[in-house]
Amino acid sequence: MQKLNVLKNLLEQADYTGFWDQLDGDDLFADLIADVAGFEELMRVRIAVCVSQCVREIQRPVLEGYLNLRGREFEHFVGTVCQWDVDETTVKVPPNKENEAKGTVVRENVKFEQFGRVVRRAYEQPA
């Protein structure tokens, strides 16, 4: 359970590169996930979902580390599974409701009496 807890904590902290380093660095993890069909693919999909909720563009080497994929495997996963645009240096994530910039309008109601105090203070002589 402690080993699984380490992986869980790394995922919760969004330390995806650390997650893959831990997973690949200890044979005990391989034993733990051996019975879970498609574990690595599921983790990559979940990490991609988290990334797509946060960014619209990400550096390719960073995302390669997050997904633990390189070269053709990376391009296939990102292009086919995620349907993102990949070039030599960056990956572009299409806009979605989570990663889209939203403007907010803030309205404050100030009563005239409150504004009057500010104007009076402006005309007071300093002591």
All structural domains of the chain with their residue ranges:
2-99
- Asked if 75 and 120 count as a contact pair (C-beta separation under 8 A), the reply is no
Other Cβ atoms within 10 Å of 79 Cβ, number: 13
pTM for the predicted model, two decimal places: 0.74
Mean pLDDT of 82-99: 91
- Residues 27-60: pLDDT tens digits? 888 788 888 889 999 999 999 999 999 999 999 9
Helix (H) or strand (E) holding 90: strand 90-92
Comparing CA positions, the residue from 12, 87, 81, 95 lying closest to residue 48 is 81
pLDDT band at 80 (very low <50, low <70, confident <90, very high): very high
Give yes or no for a contact between 96 and 52, defined as CB atoms under 8 angstroms apart: yes
Predicted confidence (pLDDT) per residue in 64-74, tens digit? 999 999 999 99
Residue 92: phi, psi to the nearest 5?
-105, 125
| Whether the Cβ atoms of residue 99 and residue 56 lie closer than 8 Å to each other | yes
The CATH label, of 1.10.357, 1.10.540, 1.10.10, 1.20.58, for the domain at 2-99 is 1.10.10
Consecutive H or E run containing 71: helix 71-76
Distance CA 4, CA 10 (A): 10
